[in-house]
Amino acid sequence: SLVETKPFLIAQTKKEPSTIGGPSGYGNDTGVKTLEAQLEEAKKKKDFGKVLELSNKLSQLRK
């Protein structure tokens, strides 16, 4: 029979392709957390220029 001679003709289940270049176990919010920590340090040092710069970067990332 055809199935015995050519078994590749039978419908087979397709495997989902694995994603390449995805995140390696961490989310995208790590940059936000680092910027928040830097912002707190700048507030403690009362470096207003740095506070303004970091808060602008944070607002851009959160959009």
**Of 28, 56, 29, residue with least CA distance to 42:** 56
Give residue-wise pLDDT tens across range 8-24: 777 777 777 777 766 66
Q: At residue 5, does pLDDT exceed 70? A: yes
pLDDT at 44: 93
Query: Which tokens hold the place of 8?
Result: 């590749």
